[in-house]
């Protein structure tokens, strides 16, 4: 038996922020020691909302470089571009045909994003979670590390595998598709916006000041944190629902400084915002420094990146094709000679 598998990804919809890193990418790194990691840049997801083609290509390579810069080791993990493996689209179609429409219509992310696009909502946006199910199920993933916002999509993937494929088309002891488990970290699973402690930090938020991007230079980090929304209380605390900004900024500080909640709660219990903000800025700048340095090298000369992506594609394709053929055959589709 091989090692258990991990599947995860980020959509190249813009500059990656500390929410993407804390909520997802940072969990991938320790899993490399014990699991086979399949980490994709999910570019087919990125085109479910209006996009600029040139920007998409740049973001796709930049996202892959960020995986490496954050500590993903291509000897231990396969990094690849989703659209380069056709099995993702084909399995998505097969799963589409067994997924009830009303399962998709109740997805929170669809409802939130659809509102923003008024009468320009694509079928792709509605279908996003089925494509995500295909991404996960193709690799027989045991674990899917994601941020809190993807929990509902993950549950959908589990239901499609279990209720719509395995129970209808599976025969014998071994399930046709592996039903994956989510891995959602306890702290930092939902990093909130710097300008509104009640909204998720997001790449697509039109307000640049709402997030700290992984590639932001120190002076910009300082500026964004200086302008971050606060409240009028002295003494900072976790977990007060009337103080979402305090909870969010302390959580970010606790994770980025590596100090943990208890020490941070103690250190900041009598602190004012004027003292806290420079500490937070310093912690963010220090945490991002090594990532930014490694990223610069990878993006200035893309030779290493191309080799990693080609190797990752080759590894992933073998696994994906095997699963796809298993499902095709169970559904009664005739193989080519």
Rounded CA separation 242/231 (Å):
10
Three-class SS state of 164? helix
For ligand AQP, the closer CB: 23 or 197:
23
- Helices 244-257 and 261-268 meet at what angle, rounded to 10? 120
Distances (CA, A) of 285 to 17, 145, 299: 13, 25, 20
Please identify the residue of the shown chain whose CB is closest to the bound ligand AQP.
Answer: 23
Q: Catalytic annotation on 277? A: no
For position 20 contacting ligand AQP by CB under 6 A, the verdict is: yes
State in angstroms the smallest separation of the CB of 120 from ligand AQP: 16
In the region spanning residues 130 to 169, those forming contacts with ligand AQP, defined by CB under 6 A, are: 146-147, 149-150
For position 60 contacting ligand AQP by CB under 6 A, the verdict is: no
For ligand AQP, the closer CB: 134 or 146:
146
Instruction: Determine which residue in the list 6, 19, 36, 305 makes contact with ligand AQP, applying CB under 6 A.
Output: 19
Rounded CA separation 73/168 (Å):
39
Q: Is 77 exposed, middle or buried (0-12, 13-18, 19+ CB in 10 A)?
A: buried
State in angstroms the smallest separation of the CB of 230 from ligand AQP: 19
State in angstroms the smallest separation of the CB of 8 from ligand AQP: 6
For position 99 contacting ligand AQP by CB under 6 A, the verdict is: no
State in angstroms the smallest separation of the CB of 252 from ligand AQP: 10
For position 254 contacting ligand AQP by CB under 6 A, the verdict is: no
Of 20, 10, 12, nearest to 212 by C-alpha is 20
Q: Which of 113, 151, 223, 302 is catalytic?
A: 113
Q: Which of 178, 200, 224, 277 is catalytic?
A: 200
Distances (CA, A) of 336 to 176, 206, 333: 21, 48, 10
For ligand AQP, the closer CB: 44 or 189:
189
Under 8 Å between Cβ of 331 and 251 = no
State in angstroms the smallest separation of the CB of 71 from ligand AQP: 16
State in angstroms the smallest separation of the CB of 73 from ligand AQP: 20
Instruction: Determine which residue in the list 7, 24, 154, 160 makes contact with ligand AQP, applying CB under 6 A.
Output: 24
For position 23 contacting ligand AQP by CB under 6 A, the verdict is: yes
For ligand AQP, the closer CB: 44 or 327:
44
For ligand AQP, the closer CB: 166 or 257:
257
In the region spanning residues 177 to 216, those forming contacts with ligand AQP, defined by CB under 6 A, are: 189-191, 200-204
State in angstroms the smallest separation of the CB of 184 from ligand AQP: 8
For ligand AQP, the closer CB: 170 or 244:
244
Taking the C-alpha atoms of 72, 78, 81 and 83 in order, what is their torsion angle to the nearest 10 degrees? -150
Rounded CA separation 304/295 (Å):
12
Listed as own residue / partner, the contacts of 232-237 with beta carbons closer than 8 Å and 24 or more positions apart are 234/270, 234/271, 234/272, 235/268, 235/269, 235/270, 235/271, 235/272, 236/268, 236/269, 236/271, 236/273, 236/276, 237/265, 237/268, 237/269
DSSP E strand boundaries for the chain: 5-10, 36-41, 77-81, 143-145, 181-183
Q: Which of 178, 203, 224, 277 is catalytic?
A: 203
Q: Catalytic annotation on 113? A: yes
Token pair, residue 245, equals 């900004």
For position 10 contacting ligand AQP by CB under 6 A, the verdict is: yes
For ligand AQP, the closer CB: 24 or 94:
24
Summarize as ranges the residues that interact with ligand AQP (CB under 6 A).
Answer: 10-11, 13, 19-20, 22-24, 146-147, 149-150, 189-191, 200-204
Q: Catalogue the active-site residues.
A: 113, 200, 203
């Amino acid at each position: 038996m091989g090692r258990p598998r991990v599947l995860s990804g980020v959509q190249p919809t813009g500059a990656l922020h500390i929410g993407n890193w804390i909520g997802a990418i940072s969990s991938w790194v320790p899993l490399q020691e014990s699991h086979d990691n399949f980490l994709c840049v999910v570019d087919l997801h990125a085109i479910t909302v209006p996009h600029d083609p040139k920007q998409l290509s740049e973001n796709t390579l930049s996202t892959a470089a960020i995986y490496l810069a954050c500590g993903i080791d291509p000897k231990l993990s396969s990094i690849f571009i989703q659209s380069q493996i056709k099995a993702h689209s084909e399995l998505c179609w097969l799963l589409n045909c067994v997924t009830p429409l009303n399962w998709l219509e109740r997805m929170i992310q669809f409802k939130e994003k659809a509102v923003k696009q008024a009468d320009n909502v694509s079928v792709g946006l509605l279908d996003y979670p089925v494509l995500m199910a295909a991404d996960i199920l193709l690799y027989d993933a045991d674990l899917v590390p994601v941020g809190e916002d993807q929990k509902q999509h993950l549950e959908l993937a589990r239901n499609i595998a279990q209720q719509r494929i395995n129970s209808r088309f599976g025969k014998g002891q071994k399930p046709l598709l592996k039903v994956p488990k989510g891995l959602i970290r306890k702290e930092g699973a939902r990093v909130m916006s710097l300008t509104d402690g009640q909204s998720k930090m997001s790449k697509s938020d039109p307000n640049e000041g709402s997030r700290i991007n992984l590639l932001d230079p120190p002076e910009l980090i300082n500026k964004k944190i200086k302008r971050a929304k606060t409240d009028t209380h002295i003494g900072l605390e976790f977990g007060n629902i009337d103080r979402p900004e305090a909870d969010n900024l302390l959580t970010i500080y606790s994770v980025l400084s590596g100090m943990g909640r208890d020490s941070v709660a103690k250190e900041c219990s009598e602190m004012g915002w004027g003292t806290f903000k420079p500490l937070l800025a310093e912690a963010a700048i220090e945490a991002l420094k090594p990532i930014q340095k490694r990223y610069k090298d990878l993006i200035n000369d893309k030779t290493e990146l191309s080799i990693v992506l080609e190797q990752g594609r080759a590894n992933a394709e073998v696994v994906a094709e095997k699963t796809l053929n298993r499902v095709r055959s169970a559904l009664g589709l005739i193989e080519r000679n």
